[in-house]
């Protein structure tokens, strides 16, 4: 009986001494996993081959994907610049890409809205200061003064039919003048009317015709080509004040334009520049998306190249060692 008790005591002592290292090893392995989560460095030289590291760390695949896959990081930054960098801890670069995105979008909407406001103001100015009736009256007098055979008599007869009524252009609301002029007749005459220069030279026929009221081309042409200068209010009033002394031959350059034409030209240039600014900022937005996407791609690519896996065969047990270098 004493011998049996001695044997039981020896076995119990041996088991207790063996269990202690196992407990210590287990605690060491869990501590290493926790350390990796907090510092990004993992040394698991004593982990067995069947140790499931992913389950221990319990990573979210949707969060980890941009950190491990260059393609997903590239896609994320392509959609939202800076997101791929942020997911990989590159906060400085992420802030730069995101700031460029926000500022560019704000500037785009500012310039686009400003362009629309300035364009509407320009059109309102044109409706008040440029009259198709004033232009048609000048075209008849210009053709008659220079003896041009372009069928202007037909337009003159149409205008004379209004003699019993008011033929004065309605500056301040020139939209009312459109019902007084047949546009097809006016265009037919324009196409056969040449430029008579002040030096006696005869030029080519008019390069453009009046466009439909309210169209983009209608407003663009009135302040772009000297041919339409006679339709502006101040030119029309100056011509009438000169009466028979007005010479219907011109320089056909900037020296013949008046203040109304100049202001219309400047207003048109202003809103067009706003539209160009908005278009240029769209190009910058596109570049920001592309550059951010490729930057995120190479960020993950370089990071993955720094991860080294080493398999160490220990004399007393099989082990795996993984190191993550920053």
Rounded CA separation 204/25 (Å)? 99
Tokens 């007098």 — which residue? 141
The answer as to whether 35 is a domain residue is no
Q: What radius of gyration, in Å, describes the C-alpha atoms of the chain?
A: 42
pLDDT band at 110 (very low <50, low <70, confident <90, very high): very high
pLDDT in tens, 185-195: 999 999 999 99
Instruction: State yes or no: pLDDT of 46 exceeds 80.
Output: no
Distance of CA 250 to the CA centre of its chain: 43
Beta-ladder partners of 307: 324
Give me 214's structure tokens.
């309210």
The answer as to whether 17 is a domain residue is no
Beta-ladder partners of 321: 310
**Dihedral angle at the C-alpha atoms of 163, 164, 169, 175, nearest 10 degrees?**
-120
Give me 148's structure tokens.
């041009």
pLDDT band at 303 (very low <50, low <70, confident <90, very high): confident
The answer as to whether 92 is a domain residue is no
What pLDDT does residue 173 have?
A: 84
Q: Which residues have a Cβ under 8 Å from the Cβ of 100 and sit 6 or more positions away?
A: 81, 284, 288
The number of domains in the chain is: 1
Give me 296's structure tokens.
């995120």
The answer as to whether 71 is a domain residue is no
Residue among 72, 106, 104, 111 nearest 88 (CA): 72
Rounded CA separation 141/135 (Å)? 10
Rounded CA separation 119/271 (Å)? 6
pLDDT above 70 as % of the chain: 72
Residue among 150, 154, 151, 226 nearest 193 (CA): 150
The answer as to whether 84 is a domain residue is no
What pLDDT does residue 69 have?
A: 84
Q: What are the helix and strand counts (H, E) for the chain?
A: 12, 4
The answer as to whether 150 is a domain residue is yes
What pLDDT does residue 27 have?
A: 42
The answer as to whether 103 is a domain residue is no
Averaged confidence pLDDT in the chain: 80
Residue 142, domain extent: 120-276
> Region 134-148: what's the mean pLDDT?
96
pLDDT band at 88 (very low <50, low <70, confident <90, very high): confident
Rounded CA separation 203/205 (Å)? 7
The answer as to whether 113 is a domain residue is no
pLDDT in tens, 193-240: 999 999 999 999 999 999 999 999 999 999 999 999 999 999 999 999
């Amino acid at each position: 009986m004493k011998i049996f008790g001695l044997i039981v005591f020896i076995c119990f002592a041996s088991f207790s001494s063996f269990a202690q290292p196992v407990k210590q090893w287990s605690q060491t392995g869990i501590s290493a996993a926790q350390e990796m989560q907090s510092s990004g460095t993992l040394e698991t030289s004593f982990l067995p081959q069947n140790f499931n590291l992913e389950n221990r760390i319990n990573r979210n695949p949707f969060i980890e994907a941009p950190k491990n896959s260059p393609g997903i990081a590239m896609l994320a930054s392509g959609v939202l610049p800076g997101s791929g960098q942020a997911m990989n801890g590159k906060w400085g670069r992420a802030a730069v890409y995101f700031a460029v995105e926000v500022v560019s979008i704000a500037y785009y909407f500012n310039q686009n809205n400003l362009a629309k406001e300035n364009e509407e103001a320009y059109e309102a100015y044109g409706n008040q200061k440029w009259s198709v009736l004033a232009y048609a009256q000048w075209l008849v007098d210009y053709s008659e003064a220079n003896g041009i055979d372009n069928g202007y008599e037909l337009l003159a007869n149409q205008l004379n039919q209004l003699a019993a009524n008011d033929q004065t252009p309605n500056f301040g609301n020139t939209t009312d003048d459109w019902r007084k002029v047949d546009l097809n007749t006016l265009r037919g005459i324009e196409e056969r009317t040449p430029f008579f220069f002040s030096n006696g030279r005869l030029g080519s026929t008019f390069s453009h015709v009046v466009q439909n009221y309210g169209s983009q081309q209608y407003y663009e042409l009135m302040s772009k080509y000297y041919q339409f200068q006679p339709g502006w209010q101040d030119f029309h009033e100056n011509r009438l004040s000169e009466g028979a002394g007005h010479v219907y031959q011109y320089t056909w350059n900037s020296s013949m334009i008046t203040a109304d034409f100049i202001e219309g030209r400047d207003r048109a240039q202003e809103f067009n520049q706003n539209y160009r600014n908005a278009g240029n900022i769209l190009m910058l937005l596109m570049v920001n998306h592309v550059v951010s996407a490729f930057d995120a791609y190479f960020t993950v690519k370089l990071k993955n190249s720094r991860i080294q896996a080493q398999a160490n065969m220990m004399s007393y047990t099989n082990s795996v060692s993984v190191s993550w270098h920053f």
